[in-house]
Amino acid sequence: MPGESREPALRFENVSVFFDDQPALADLTFEARGGQSHVILGAAGSGKTVLLKTAMGLIKPHSGRVLVFGEDISRMNERQLFDIRSRIGMLFQESALFDSLTIEENVAYPLLNQKAIHCPSCDVLPRVTRALEFVELGGTLEKFPAELSGGMRRRAAIARAVVTEPPLQMYDSPTAGLDPITAHTIMALLIKERDVSRATTLMVTHRYQDGNLMANFRYNSEKGSLEPARNGDRATARTTFMVMKEGRLIFEGDQDELEASHDPYIAKFFKQRT
């Protein structure tokens, strides 16, 4: 598969995070190789968001190591982390668009503020426009986040996450709180972004349908729509499923292995697929 690399883009080694002596992540070990997709399933409070924030260096692990593109970020200070973070795109659960900035300013924010990006000022607007057109929000540059619907805000946040074309992309519950049609549109955009950029993708969700789409559909650039991946593609599946429970990783494997699991907690996810 083009873009796939043996070098892990992200690696957790025995990572533990505690909040008020309660483990949010407990001895977590996994790795995401370049070009792979990881779907992280888990109930509310199972540590999914903490995992993404730890991978971004927003939360420091109490023990263990987090390696991003081979660099240990566990001991880095905030300024050292800025360079690493410029290579990661993150979609936050509540979109986290800046209320006081327009959509154009929001999407331009990483281009203007991430020192490692080096984007000439004349390139900012074309790249912002391109990113917003990618998420089909071309006409919203001057609007403020409060003027957009929940689904549109989520799409604008995706544009902000991918405008710098980061090689590692993380999505925190991208379809949470959206109606099924909008949720499908968001998933189609994420799959399109994955297949166009060939980036390593981590997606946190509690909806098995999202993982199923990620694993079994691909973006057809000629037709401009999603289509089921052919059997051959499925055989070389780049999608790994992980299941979190109370801060622990209790399953890691492909979709077939997941669906063969007899663990009632794991089965709960794929039995709700329809």
Q: Do 170 and 91 form a contact (C-beta atoms < 8 A)?
A: yes
**Smallest separation (angstroms) from other proteins to the CB of 140:** 18
In three-state secondary structure terms, 31 is strand
**Smallest separation (angstroms) from other proteins to the CB of 49:** 9
- For the CA atoms of 245, 246, 249, 253, the dihedral, rounded to the nearest 10 degrees, stands at 10
**Smallest separation (angstroms) from other proteins to the CB of 172:** 9
Q: Do 141 and 152 form a contact (C-beta atoms < 8 A)?
A: no
Region class of 223: left (phi > 0), else alpha (psi between -120 and 50), else beta: alpha
**Smallest separation (angstroms) from other proteins to the CB of 163:** 10
Q: What is the contact surface with other proteins in residues (CB under 8 A)?
A: 53, 56, 58, 78-79, 82, 85-86, 88, 90, 92-94, 96-99, 109-110, 113-116, 160
Q: Do 118 and 134 form a contact (C-beta atoms < 8 A)?
A: no
Q: Do 25 and 56 form a contact (C-beta atoms < 8 A)?
A: no
Nearer to other proteins, 161 or 229 (CB): 161
Nearer to other proteins, 83 or 257 (CB): 83
Nearer to other proteins, 9 or 56 (CB): 56
The kind and range of the H/E element at 176 are none
Nearer to other proteins, 118 or 223 (CB): 118
Nearer to other proteins, 173 or 212 (CB): 173
- For the CA atoms of 127, 132, 134, 136, the dihedral, rounded to the nearest 10 degrees, stands at -160
**Smallest separation (angstroms) from other proteins to the CB of 56:** 6
